[in-house]
């Protein structure tokens, strides 16, 4: 093990945004091939990643049943959870077509983080932090938040000492005003501040560019309005159900939180080391987010989550207000992780959410489980998931984008570079999925939502 560690340290001279911060999966594959005394040919490296991806999925398969036990999910809910987690485009199609990626390891880390959080195991979260620093950037923020705010059911918070917490209504009004101000600021900044597009064939001008007669198109305004409306609605639903610690109590709890302090001791020097070797800073990440938000087609940041991650995302959107109530019962940490997840949806590429997928599935299925699930419900989710997985569609290069011969569109990956015909295909599929699920569950929605006593008991 010491020898492996020394070799790993020697490889830390790798530089660049997609080098050092994603080196851990390559490190595992490298030593796996050395252990088997295999050559480092392209084919063997691909086989090594296939083995690593399979092992990562196997770990989540094992953990899902444990997570379902902790959340008291029914038999049918567990089956739908398995379908949602593993029968989607990212896991069933994309990883098989393009195995040399770090997404599957990030997916595994997401499952490990959720299990460790629900079981109150800070050691598991610390291990995820160390691996995540060299695998997937958003893992670090999620782990630090979960360690800072460990699982604490809302009912237990109220029973421990209500004097430690602010009334959620008054506190929420303050938070709401802060969020409205921040979102308005971001909205205006995007409108007035020119951002360099990610691809040369995409043109963008700010709302009032200097020395220009350029007219701001209506679709830009509508996409910003939709994007920020979703952002605010998603956060509001989370925050309004929370109890908030008094400032002094929060400071005392933080200073006594040994796991969080240890995480900071690990995180700060490593992140400094990564930054010194060219890994992107938070400022650079924010600029990328602005680029994605600006260069997308109308509504694509929601459509892509459905297309790449499956129909469970549609149900998450349809029942978000109720799912947020369940999330809030587990405390501030889980709510803030979902707030980060909402922020990641603005990237437009569903692959960005792969680490959050176990969290989304677990609490969406928890809400879905309240509807007396049947085999018919399982069948509908299975059929829709198979449709969105696109295992029935040929995967390959379709055509070059005329404005950039070197930029090719991989069929049904999706993004701001997407061929317009495939965009409408994806949009239609997402709307079809929403209509099918709404038609299937609308009467149960009505019955359950109009039974407040039953809702409060659950």
pLDDT tens, residue by residue, 320-343: 999 999 998 898 899 999 988 887
Provide the pLDDT for residue 202: 39
Average pLDDT over residues 248-261: 89
For the chain, helix (H) and strand (E) counts, in that order, are 22, 4
Q: What's the domain range around 334?
A: 2-457
Provide the pLDDT for residue 433: 94
Residue environment code for 385-404, b if the CB has 16+ CB neighbours within 10 A, otherwise e = bbbbbbeeeebeeeeebeee
CB 117 within 8 A of CB 333: yes
Reference 342, options 323, 332, 356; nearest CA is 356
Mean pLDDT lowest among 31-45, 129-143, 158-172, 411-425: 158-172
Provide the pLDDT for residue 283: 61
For residue 194, report the phi and psi dihedrals to the nearest 5 degrees. Answer: -70, 135
Provide the pLDDT for residue 424: 77
Provide the pLDDT for residue 95: 83
Average pLDDT over residues 2-25: 58
Q: What is the pTM of this model?
A: 0.85
Task: Check whether 106 has a pLDDT greater than 90.
Answer: yes
Provide the pLDDT for residue 63: 97
Provide the pLDDT for residue 452: 55
Which residues, other chains included, contact 222 with Cβ-Cβ below 8 Å and sequence gap of 6+?
Answer: 298
Q: Which residue has the higher pLDDT, 37 or 171?
A: 37
Q: Which value, in Å, is the radius of gyration of the alpha carbons in the chain?
A: 23
Task: Check whether 163 has a pLDDT greater than 50.
Answer: no
pLDDT digits (tens, 9 = 90+) for 408-418: 444 445 555 56
Range picked from 76-80, 199-203, 308-312, 389-393 for highest mean pLDDT: 76-80
Q: Give the Cα separation of 265 and 272 in Å (integer).
A: 12
Token code pair at residue 427: 């949009």
- From the centroid of its chain, how far is CA 290? 17
- Residue recorded with tokens 């995302």: 313
Provide the pLDDT for residue 352: 75
Token code pair at residue 89: 């485009």
Provide the pLDDT for residue 81: 97
Q: Give the Cα separation of 220 and 298 in Å (integer).
A: 8
Q: Give the Cα separation of 449 and 455 in Å (integer).
A: 7
Token code pair at residue 336: 């803030």
For the chain, the average pLDDT equals 77
DSSP state, residue 209: -
Task: Check whether 174 has a pLDDT greater than 80.
Answer: no
Task: Check whether 13 has a pLDDT greater than 60.
Answer: no
Give, in degrees to the nearest 5, the angle at Cα 401 between 397 and 404: 115
CB 351 within 8 A of CB 414: no
Task: Check whether 347 has a pLDDT greater than 90.
Answer: no
Average pLDDT over residues 87-116: 90
Res. 262 pLDDT band, cuts 50 70 90: very high
**Domain total in the chain:** 1
């Amino acid at each position: 093990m010491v020898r492996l560690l020394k070799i790993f340290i020697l490889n830390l001279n790798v530089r660049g945004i997609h080098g050092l911060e994603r080196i851990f999966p390559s490190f595992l594959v490298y030593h796996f091939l050395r252990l088997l005394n295999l050559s480092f040919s392209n084919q063997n490296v691909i086989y090594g990643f296939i083995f690593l991806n399979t092992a990562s999925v196997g770990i989540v398969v094992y953990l899902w049943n444990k997570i379902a036990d902790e959340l008291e999910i029914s038999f049918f809910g567990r089956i739908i959870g398995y379908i949602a987690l593993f029968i989607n485009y990212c896991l069933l199609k994309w990883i098989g077509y393009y195995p040399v990626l770090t997404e599957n390891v990030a997916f595994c880390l997401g499952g490990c983080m959720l299990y460790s959080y629900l079981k109150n195991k800070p050691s598991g979260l610390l291990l995820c932090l160390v691996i995540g620093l060299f695998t997937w950037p958003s893992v670090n923020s999620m782990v630090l938040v979960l360690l800072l705010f460990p699982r604490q059911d809302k009912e237990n918070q109220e029973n421990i000492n209500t004097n430690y917490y602010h009334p959620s209504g008054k506190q929420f009004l303050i938070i709401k005003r802060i969020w409205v101000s921040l979102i308005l600021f971001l909205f205006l900044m995007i409108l007035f501040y020119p951002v360099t597009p990610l691809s040369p064939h995409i043109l963008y001008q700010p709302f009032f560019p200097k020395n220009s007669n350029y007219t701001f198109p209506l679709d830009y305004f509508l996409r910003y309005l939709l994007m920020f409306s979703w952002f605010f609605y998603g956060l509001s639903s989370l925050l309004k159900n929370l109890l908030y610690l008094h400032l002094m109590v929060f400071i005392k709890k933080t200073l006594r939180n040994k796991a969080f302090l240890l995480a900071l001791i690990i995180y700060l020097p490593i992140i400094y080391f990564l930054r010194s070797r060219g890994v992107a800073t938070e400022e650079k990440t924010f600029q990328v987010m602005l680029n994605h938000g600006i260069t997308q087609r109308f509504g694509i940041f929601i459509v892509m989550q459905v297309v790449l991650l499956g129909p469970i995302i549609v149900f998450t959107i349809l029942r978000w207000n109720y799912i947020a109530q369940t999330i809030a019962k587990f405390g501030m940490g889980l709510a803030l992780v979902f707030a980060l997840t909402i922020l990641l949806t603005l990237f437009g590429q569903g692959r960005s959410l792969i680490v959050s997928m176990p969290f989304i599935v677990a609490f969406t299925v928890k809400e879905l489980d309240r509807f007396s699930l049947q085999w018919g419900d399982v069948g509908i989710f299975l059929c829709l998931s198979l449709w969105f997985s696109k295992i029935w569609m040929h995967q390959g290069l379709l055509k070059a984008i005329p404005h950039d011969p070197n930029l090719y569109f991989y069929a049904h990956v999706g993004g701001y570079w997407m061929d317009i015909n495939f965009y409408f295909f994806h949009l239609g599929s997402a709307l079809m999925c929403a209509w099918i699920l709404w038609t299937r569950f609308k009467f149960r929605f009505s019955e359950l939502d109009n039974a407040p006593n039953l809702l409060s008991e659950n």
